[in-house]
Structure 1
Amino acid sequence: MVTLYWICLITGVLFALVTLLFGELIGHLFGAAFDGAAGAHALPVLQPVSLVGGITAFGACGLLLTRYTVWPAFPVALLSLFGALALSVAFAFLYVRPMQRSENSTGFSIRELTGAVGEITVPIPAAGGCGEIVLKVGAARTNQIAASFDGAPIPEGAKAVVVDVREGVLYVSPLGDEL
């Protein structure tokens, strides 16, 4: 049984080291497999980090209980399993879940701006002219070159919606009765 505990502990430590060194690469390679799984984000206990943490905790608890108690193998294994479950659930709810909620990126693709509503900061003249629009992207704001989709001028301060994106220019239309 001690061999099983050592295998679990060493596997967990190696997984932690590999994740630390190559986590970004592994995330890109296997991210779709975990993101596409039904309910993968609904239960943070089923995240790979929580599962491997539980396996590591099982090995560590088993080794400690075997070394520092005189209990037989079955109660040690049972207590190790309960300890692993408790640590895995605690880790999932105290670390994994908050980290999932805190992920926020300022990176975006200009194609994602289609349908976004913003405010014109530099007036857009009639057909062929360009102005500027400020859009909220996540927690940040971005200024982008804008042109009128309909060819009509759009004044500064008007609310506008991005209708199309072509060659790095956002084609916008005024929102509501802005003209």
Structure 2
Amino acid sequence: METLYLSCLAFGVLFALVSVVLGDLLSSALDGALDFLSADAGGIFQPAALAGGVTAFGGAGLMLEKYAELGAAATAGLAAMIAIAGSMAMFFFYVKPMRNSETSSGYSVRELGGTIGEVITPIPAQGCGEVLIRIGAGVTNHTAESFEGRDIPAGSRVVVVEVKPDALSVAMMNERGDL
């Protein structure tokens, strides 16, 4: 049984090293062939959680065999329970929070209505200028026109009133932040 426990422990350590050090390289090299192992598939049966359980089984089995005075079946059963607990802990304290923390920087132009921006290229009364709008942690530039048909100088705070196919229609805000 010691060989089984040692093999499980070695597998878990190697899996961790390979996934951390070579994970991105292998994913690129295999061109998505292992995408079925991604965090979106399998519910609680994630590769990282399962590997954590196998590693816990091996480590617990070795420790119990050496320090506990139990029979082989009791040692294997207790090691299996520790592995299940370790796998669940890995899923709920690492895999799931990491999956929930993934964010996207993508947005739709239609979502810009009501957002506040700053004019970086003056907007003439009958023409277009440019506004800078913060989206999440980033910024984006868009062509803009005056909603009210007035000149809007560079540096002015504006609000997007309407999203048109070719430009954002914006209105200047006063110093208090009102329209």
Fold match (TM-score > 0.5)? yes
Q: Deviations over 1:75-133 (max 9, x none)?
A: 1110000001111112222222233333346xx35xx3422213342153366532214
Take 2:7 and 2:36, find their aligned partners in 1: how far apart are those partners?
Answer: 28
CA 1:79–1:146 in 2, change beyond 3 Å: closer, same or farther? same
The 4+ residue runs of structure 1 with deviation greater than 6 A are none
1:119 partner letter: I
In structure 1, what is the equivalent of residue 175 of structure 2? none
After TM superposition, list the pairs within 5 Å mapping 1:1-150 onto structure 2.
1-26=1-26, 29=32, 30-31=34-35, 34=38, 37=41, 40=42, 43=43, 45-104=44-103, 108=105, 112-117=107-112, 118-122=115-119, 124-125=123-124, 129-137=128-136, 140-148=137-145
Query: Partner amino acid for 1:79?
Result: L
Unpaired segments ≥5 residues, structure 2: 172-178
Alignment coverage as a number of residue pairs? 160
Aligned letter for 1:24? Answer: D
Could you say what secondary structure the match of 1:46 adopts?
A: coil
> How far did residue 65 of structure 1 move?
1.1
Distance 1:129 1:173 in 2: 9
Contact 1:124 1:131 in 2 (8 A): yes
1:172 counterpart residue number: 168
User: What is the percent sequence identity of the aligned residues?
Assistant: 35
Aligned alpha-carbon RMSD (Å): 3.3
DSSP-derived class of the 1:50 partner:
helix
Which is higher, the Rg of structure 1 or of structure 2?
Answer: 2
